[in-house]
């Protein structure tokens, strides 16, 4: 594309669009029709420019012009409580359902790795000695030791807030790192698997695995599921970089990236619930079966939310992305 020829051919249309967009100008019916036509043409020009002859200054100018024109054509829209309700009942569960193959597989692999590492730590004294000194291991695993006292080390509300913040950061990192081909996501998962496996193995080595599971399962079922969803979504985003499918890589990343941002918000709410359980239920005086039952109910409720509500929304065409009127325009471009 000859940029000078392109600009000369369409400059008059851009200038005219700018005139129609002036503040305070009341348009006639004919001018409104002209605004829509020029908006469509300029959007096409911008797409052609970005794909064939990217020029930073001209691209910036046309991007601004198209954004102003789009606002004038479709009108400004403010988010409402209805948008939040639609997100929680359709967008978020549908996004979780669409990525189910990624996060369910992630969860299964994570569980296998934790079981293998936990068994290794529990049965090999040499491995345990590399974790910590014998006296430190006894302090961690004894009745009332570090593993048990951790959950009551702070007031419940403060502890819940701390746990929620930490887990939200882990989930956010998993989602954000997905764009880097998903490799950092695998590292985050491995670190978490090692931490969980250490607790499993060390407590099993002193025949107190039941105590450890009674402490971790009430909140851990929902918490780890949320981490799996975040990691699976991040890995899916990384795969989109490699294989965008029939869409352009930019368009595919935009769609999956916007859905991932929405999932970060939804998962923060899920992790808030698991943090409340960890802060108030895990260290409570309830019997072990009662604490685990609460965790199982929370987990089953989330899975039903995803596989019933989310499946229904996904089959209806919901993807977790913005609504059609909020998404930026995508104009086809000749290859």
Give the tens place of pLDDT for each residue, 221-261. Answer: 999 999 999 988 888 888 887 887 777 777 777 777 777 78
Cα separation, 17 vs 84, in Å, equals 35
In a domain, 158, yes or no: yes
Tokens describing residue 99:
């990525």
Name the residue among 275, 277, 188, 193 with its Cα closest to residue 230: 188
| Same-domain pairing of 64 and 120 | no
Please, what sign has the CA dihedral across residues 114, 118, 119, 124? Answer: positive
Q: In degrees to the nearest 10, what's the CA dihedral of 265, 267, 269, 272? A: -130
Q: What is the mean pLDDT of residues 107-123?
A: 95
Q: Look at residue 297 and tell me whether its pLDDT is greater than 90.
A: yes
Q: What is the mean pLDDT of residues 281-301?
A: 92
What pTM, to 2 d.p., does this model score?
0.69
Q: Look at residue 331 and tell me whether its pLDDT is greater than 80.
A: no
Tokens describing residue 138:
């006894």
In a domain, 87, yes or no: yes
The CA-to-CA distance between both ends of the chain, in Å, stands at: 13
The rounded percent of the chain whose pLDDT value lies above 90 is 26
Give the tens place of pLDDT for each residue, 127-160. Answer: 988 888 888 888 888 888 877 777 766 666 766 6
Tokens describing residue 33:
């029709």
| Same-domain pairing of 227 and 183 | yes
| Same-domain pairing of 192 and 69 | no
Q: Look at residue 270 and tell me whether its pLDDT is greater than 70.
A: yes
Q: Is 50 helix (H, G, I), strand (E, B) or coil?
A: helix
| Same-domain pairing of 212 and 301 | yes
Please state the domain count of the chain. Answer: 2
The rounded percent of the chain whose pLDDT value lies above 70 is 87
| Same-domain pairing of 94 and 59 | no
Cα separation, 329 vs 209, in Å, equals 55
Q: Residue 333: its pLDDT value, please?
A: 43
| Same-domain pairing of 70 and 198 | no
Helix or strand holding residue 81 (H, E) = helix 81-86
| Same-domain pairing of 59 and 102 | no
Range of the domain at 59: 3-74
Most confident segment among 199-203, 295-299, 315-319: 295-299
Q: What is the mean pLDDT of residues 174-197?
A: 81
| Same-domain pairing of 106 and 48 | no
Measured CA distances, 110 to 92, 93, 179, 225 (Å): 23, 22, 21, 11
In a domain, 326, yes or no: no
| Same-domain pairing of 114 and 257 | yes
């Amino acid at each position: 594309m000859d940029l000078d020829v392109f600009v000369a051919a369409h400059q008059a249309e851009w200038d005219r669009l700018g005139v129609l967009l002036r503040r305070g100008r009341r348009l006639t019916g004919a001018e409104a029709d002209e605004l829509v036509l020029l908006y469509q043409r300029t959007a096409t020009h911008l797409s052609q420019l970005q794909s064939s002859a990217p020029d930073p200054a001209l691209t910036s100018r046309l991007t601004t012009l198209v954004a102003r024109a789009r606002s004038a054509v479709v009108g400004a829209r403010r988010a409402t409580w209805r948008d939040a309700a639609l997100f929680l009942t359709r967008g978020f569960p549908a996004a979780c359902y669409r990525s189910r193959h990624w996060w369910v597989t992630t969860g299964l692999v994570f569980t296998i790795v934790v079981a293998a590492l936990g068994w290794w730590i529990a049965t090999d004294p040499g491995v345990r000695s590399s974790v910590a000194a014998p006296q430190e291991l006894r302090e961690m695993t004894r009745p009332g030791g570090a593993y048990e006292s951790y959950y009551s080390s702070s007031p419940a509300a403060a502890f819940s807030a701390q746990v929620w913040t930490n887990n939200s950061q882990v989930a956010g990192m998993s989602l954000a790192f997905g764009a880097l081909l998903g490799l950092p996501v695998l590292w985050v998962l491995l670190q978490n698997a090692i931490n969980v496996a250490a607790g499993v193995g060390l407590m099993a080595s002193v025949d107190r695995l039941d105590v450890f599971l009674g402490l971790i399962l009430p909140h851990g079922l929902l918490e780890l599921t949320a981490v799996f969803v975040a990691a699976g979504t991040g890995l899916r985003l990384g795969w989109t970089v490699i294989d965008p499918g029939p869409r352009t890589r930019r368009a595919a990343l935009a769609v999956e990236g916007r859905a991932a941002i929405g999932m970060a918000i939804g998962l923060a709410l899920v992790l808030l619930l698991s943090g409340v359980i960890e802060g108030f239920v895990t260290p409570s005086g309830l019997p072990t079966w009662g604490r685990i039952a609460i965790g199982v109910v929370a987990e089953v409720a989330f899975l039903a939310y995803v596989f019933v509500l989310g499946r229904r929304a996904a089959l209806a065409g919901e993807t977790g992305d913005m609504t059609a009127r909020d998404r930026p325009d995508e104009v086809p471009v000749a290859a």
